[in-house]
Amino acid sequence: MNTAIVCVGKMKEKYWRDAAAEYEKRLSRFGKFETIEVGDLPEPQNASPALEAQICRREGEAILAKLRPDDIVIALCIDGKRLDSVELAAQMQRFGDTGRRVTFVIGGSLGLSPEVVARANMKLSFSPMTFPHQLARVMLLEQVYRACKINAGERYHK
């Protein structure tokens, strides 16, 4: 399966980079996988709602520029659909069977722009809680890896 993650920001701490690299290495045996980072824009401490919207829109434009026209896009959103690991695996299999790249999108601290959400084929939520960007990315990598193992008929930890 051809899979990608497009995300805002870089992994700053070494332990997050190491965790992400481990899952990316594991995922490589299931098909083409890539992580595409776009820059996160500085957000002033007391930014006005208008400035926050502008920052979110500009980050959204950078995300959209990395998406292919035929990508199946799964946007991580708090208000998205919650799936267990087996359901995510089944959804990824259905999307992957189209032959198109399945691309997950993780926004920055201000979330995803309305344009990115509108481009998504599906909205996915891990929880109604908010997670740090780097943790969410590692969690997504782990869940994508788990889904690949499930779809390959391999044993996975329950």
Domain boundaries, the chain: 3-42+53-151
Q: Which tens digits make up the pLDDT trace of 135-146?
A: 999 999 999 999
Per-residue pLDDT band for 131 (boundaries 50, 70, 90) equals confident
Task: Give the CATH number of domain 3-42+53-151.
Answer: 3.40.1280.10
Q: How far apart are CA 85 and CA 97, in angstroms?
A: 18
In the predicted structure, residue 156 carries a pLDDT above the cut 80:
no
The token pair at 142 is 């782990």
Per-residue pLDDT band for 28 (boundaries 50, 70, 90) equals very high
Q: Specify the pTM.
A: 0.94
Mean pLDDT of 56-66: 97
Secondary structure of residue 143 in the 3-state scheme? helix
